[in-house]
Amino acid sequence: MTAVTAGVTSGGRLTQRRIALSEWTKLRSVRSTRWALAATLLLIIGIGIIACATFESRWPHLSASDRANFDPLSTSLGGVNLAQLSLGVLGVLVITAEYSTGMIRSTFSAVPKRLPALWGKALVFGAVAFGVSLPAIFIVFFAGQTILSGQHINIGISHPGVLRALVGATLFLTVMGLFGLGLGAIVRSTAGGIALLAAIVFVLPPILDLLPSSISNSIDPYLPSNAGRAVWTINPGAHTLAPWTGLAVFSGYAALSLAIAAALLNRRDT
């Protein structure tokens, strides 16, 4: 108020860049991040290598139909199916852990407009999810194909669609993490957020399969995880969206969850 107020630093304004830096500090300074990211790496690389090694060693004994159905790309990317959950759960935790510990009050006192904090989280976590997934996916692709080359059943990176699928898988995992963040911000509870995410990814598809196929075939491709899967496969099934269309639809779900979260965040008490 008065000039007596000593030593108040000027120019220390709130900016989106600074908020993102703060969110980076928050993300790297809790254990759950390290655990979830380590689990993600392990799942992507470990499962892919095990799957490839199994096919390579069993190949001479496999039936003709098994051989016909074999897909070297999706075999090496098998771990993505589980990594989507570890990254999705970390996305949920990034926001719900703040609610369960009370940290959210500190966050919103520093960033009282609130939304910049959500965007900061999305930006930083999205970048981290991408940065961790990308090398893991390329490592498991090359390692897996090297193993498969023992039986000459490998696929090259220059094969049509392969590079797109590898980048696509990385984007898919990134968007899954952001979807988790959006869901977590909507429900504000760790258990609720994880349950919701798991239900959407793992429970919804088999439930839909209970419907007559004339109905389920037209809905199935638009389910979040199915739509997202289209971008990281080169052997799409009969009822699958085009690769980038699929990713766009999946990103739409994630964007919607973040938009709902943003609307609620502005309105709700903390």
Q: Which of 67, 105, 218, 244 binds another protein (CB under 8 A)?
A: 105
Question: Does residue 110 touch another protein according to CB under 8 A?
Answer: yes
Would you say 26 or 188 has its CB closer to another protein?
A: 26
Please tell me whether residue 15 binds another protein under the rule CB under 8 A. yes
Ramachandran quadrant class, 114 (left: phi over 0; alpha: psi -120 to 50; beta: rest): left
Token couple for 264: 């609620």
- Nearest to another protein of 5, 65 (CB atom): 5
Least Cβ distance, residue 260 to another protein (angstroms)? 19
Check residue 26 for interaction with another protein (CB under 8 A): yes
By beta-carbon proximity to another protein, the closer residue of 73 and 185 is: 185
- The number of residues that bind another protein (CB under 8 A) is 41
DSSP 77-144: TTTHHHHHHHHHHHHHHHHHHHHHHSHHHHHHHHSTT-HHHHHHHHHHHHHHHHHHHHHHHHHHHHHH
Q: Which of 150, 242, 194, 160 is nearest to 36 (CA)?
A: 194
Query: Which of residues 8 and 68 has its CB atom nearest to another protein in the complex?
Result: 8
Q: Scanning the structure block, which residue is given the tokens 């500190």? A: 106
Contact segment (CB under 8 A) with another protein among 4-12, 66-74, 142-150, 250-258 equals: 4-12
Q: Which CA distances in Å does 109 have to 13, 102, 103, 115, 224? A: 14, 12, 10, 12, 35
38 touching another protein, by CB under 8 A: no
Please tell me whether residue 160 binds another protein under the rule CB under 8 A.
no
For 61, the token pair is: 């004994």
Give the ranges where the chain is alpha helix by DSSP (H). Answer: 16-28, 31-58, 64-69, 72-76, 80-101, 103-110, 115-148, 162-187, 190-198, 204-208, 213-219, 224-229, 243-267
- Please report how close the Cβ of residue 128 comes to another protein at its closest, in angstroms: 15
Does residue 101 belong to the site contacting another protein (CB under 8 A)?
A: yes
How far apart CA 214 and CA 227 sit, in angstroms, is: 18
Q: Is 13 in the site for another protein (CB under 8 A)?
A: yes
* Binding-site member from 53, 80, 109, 181 for another protein (CB under 8 A): 109
- Which residue has tokens 């199915």? 226
Which C-beta is closer to another protein: that of 15 or that of 213? Answer: 15
Q: Out of 58, 112, 211, 215, which residue is the one contacting another protein (CB under 8 A)?
A: 112
Nearer to another protein, 102 or 135 (CB): 102
22 binds another protein per the rule CB under 8 A: yes
Q: Report CA-CA distances (Å) from 205 to 61, 88, 139, 221, 234.
A: 33, 17, 30, 10, 21
Question: For another protein, which is the closer residue by CB, 23 or 56?
Answer: 23
Q: Beta-carbon neighbour count of residue 36 at 10 Å?
A: 23
**Residue 263 sits in the site that holds another protein (CB under 8 A):** no
Regarding 30 and contact with another protein (CB under 8 A), the answer is yes
| Residues lying near another protein in the complex (CB under 8 A) | 1-9, 11-15, 18-19, 21-23, 25-26, 29-32, 97-98, 101-103, 105-106, 108-113, 267, 269-270
